[in-house]
Chain A
Amino acid sequence: MLRIPCPHCGERDETEFRYRGDAGKARPAGDADIAAFATYVYERDNPLGWHVEWWMHVAGCRKLLKLVRHTLSHEIHAVLAPDAEPPFPPREQGR
């Protein structure tokens, strides 16, 4: 069971949240080619280590959160606003 420290509601069980996947993907410009969009939609870095990801607090404040979480230990390093930059390049701290 993850305990996610929501900045608005406090620490809550993972069952109050919905996972929404990799938050490290940047949408290409509208005139980008098909290959760029295919990469954006389908490819994932899928790291064993720190992962920046979206969670929605559906049974709480209903705010979208950006988490930095480790995909092996499940340690949560940071819970951020959607537009915040992660506090370090997560890949460099991966194992």
Chain B
Amino acid sequence: MVIVGGGGHGLATAYYLATRHGITDVAVVEKGAIGLGNVGRNTTFIRSNYFHPDNIRFYEFSLQLWENLERSLNFNAMVSQRGTLNLFHTEAQRDLFARRANQMRLLGVDAEALGRDAVKALVPLIDLDNGRYPVLGGFLQPRGGTVRHDAVAWGYARGASEAGVDIIEDCEVTGITRSGARVTGVETTRGSIGAETVCLAVAGHSSRLASMAGVTLPIETHVLQAFVTEAVKPVLDVVLTYGPSHFYVSQSDKGGLVYGGALDGYNTYGQRGTLPMAEELAACAVTLMPGLARLKVLRQWGGVMDMTMDGSPLITQTPVDGLILNGGWCYGGFKAIPAGGVTTAHLIAHGSSHPLAAHLGLGRFAAGRTVDERGVGPFPWTH
């Protein structure tokens, strides 16, 4: 079989196919070099603080896999469970977060409510009374944290390669061949490969690849930016999110503050980003932690996202027999890599969905069973 895309999900799927199902007749084809797509362009957070029960179970499974990842792969991915703290700034926002935390605790996942003093003790840099949006408290998932994202791609790639998987770089898929309703292989810039199963793991470009097989997806492509400041001594040892806007920040082990926010807001395949969002995020950073105003931003980049119509991913069969899709990760794909790999490998090996990913099929849209965490409807730029 062929896996298109040497990113986190493609490499993890190959690794679990080989190690859990004994399927090693696998080629992972990657248009550039492995790990240079979204797996190396995200802000590296892991967490399982979702609201929808099916999502909590899926992402909690992923978090548990992260906790044992380095032992399994014998590769140092610098998994750091430093905690994920979501601040709230209004009573309504507190109630929403409390509802989510209660749902998590019902399913055995860690979530704690913190008052203002506890927030200040955890993150002294925060200006609790920032005038416009005072911080009322926060919800902490202590087991959330960060992972060194490049090491995830390399660790899975080495594990898959040692188990017998072929990883072919500089090999761009230019076509998907079919015989009637069945997939028969892929055309690439380095020749054609026959395959009974083709798995797409190319989030950001799933629509383009699927259209090569005549499939239209419930996806739009949007850009998400990320920023890194110059390095400073340790000042922030949790992953922090800010409630009034969409803003999240952590400090990398090298000392830079890594932060990001919402989508730029309109369909694009441009991996760059525009200035209004850069300004918005700088304003968020300085409102929340005024001391950050003295830092310089060293690097900025953009990654293109598969934004689905309900904000949840797709691990699914498609209308073309043998064509499997792992995509639609919106901007939550990194944390899901281990679970995405296990459940996609299960789908390929058994021909049926893994129980933890059964809610992520394409059929949910027409059936009216969308998994919409925020309840905003089919407007991907708002998810």
A-side contacts of B217, CB under 8 Å: 43-44, 46
A-side contacts of B276, CB under 8 Å: 1, 13-15
B220 touches A44 (CB 8 A): yes
A46 touches B220 (CB 8 A): yes
A44 touches B379 (CB 8 A): no
A19-B265 in contact given A43-B217, A44-B219 (Cβ < 8 Å): yes
Within the assembled complex, what's the spacing in Å between the Cα atoms of A27 and B305? 26
Stretch of B48-56, B154-162, B170-178, B267-275 that contacts chain A: B267-275
Within the assembled complex, what's the spacing in Å between the Cα atoms of A22 and B219? 11
Answer whether residue A59 sits at the interface, using C-beta atoms and an 8 A cutoff: no
B-side contacts of A15, CB under 8 Å: 276
A19 touches B381 (CB 8 A): yes
Within the assembled complex, what's the spacing in Å between the Cα atoms of A49 and B104? 42
B-side contacts of A38, CB under 8 Å: 365-366
Answer whether residue A81 sits at the interface, using C-beta atoms and an 8 A cutoff: no
Contact with B along A23-55 (1 / 0, CB 8 A): 000000000001100110111111010010100
Give the A-B contact count at a CB cut-off of 8 A: 72
A35-B366 in contact given A41-B378, A48-B269 (Cβ < 8 Å): yes
Within the assembled complex, what's the spacing in Å between the Cα atoms of A46 and B268? 9
Contact with B along A64-90 (1 / 0, CB 8 A): 000001011110000000000000000
A-side contacts of B42, CB under 8 Å: none
When the two chains form the complex, which single residue of A14, A45, A51, A74 contacts B270, counting CB atoms closer than 8 Å? A74
B-side contacts of A73, CB under 8 Å: 270
| Complex interface residues of chain B between 204 and 224 (CB less than 8 A to chain A) | 205, 207-208, 211, 216-221
Q: Shortest CB–CB separation between residue A44 and chain B, in angstroms?
A: 5
Answer whether residue A7 sits at the interface, using C-beta atoms and an 8 A cutoff: no
Within the assembled complex, what's the spacing in Å between the Cα atoms of A38 and B218? 10
| Complex interface residues of chain B between 348 and 383 (CB less than 8 A to chain A) | 365-366, 378-381
Within the assembled complex, what's the spacing in Å between the Cα atoms of A18 and B205? 25
Residue numbers of B with Cβ under 8 A of A are 205, 207-208, 211, 216-221, 265-270, 274-276, 309, 365-366, 378-381
Residue numbers of A with Cβ under 8 A of B are 1-2, 13-15, 19, 21-22, 34-35, 38-39, 41-46, 48, 51, 53, 69, 71-74
What are 30 inter-chain pairs, A to B, with CB distance below 8 A?
A: A1-B276, A2-B266, A2-B274, A13-B276, A19-B265, A19-B266, A19-B381, A21-B267, A21-B380, A21-B381, A35-B366, A41-B378, A42-B218, A43-B218, A44-B207, A44-B218, A44-B220, A44-B309, A45-B207, A46-B217, A46-B267, A48-B205, A53-B267, A69-B266, A71-B221, A71-B269, A71-B270, A72-B268, A72-B270, A73-B270
Across the A-B interface, give the 7 residue pairs with the lowest CB-CB distance, nearest first: A38-B366, A46-B207, A42-B218, A19-B266, A42-B365, A42-B309, A43-B216
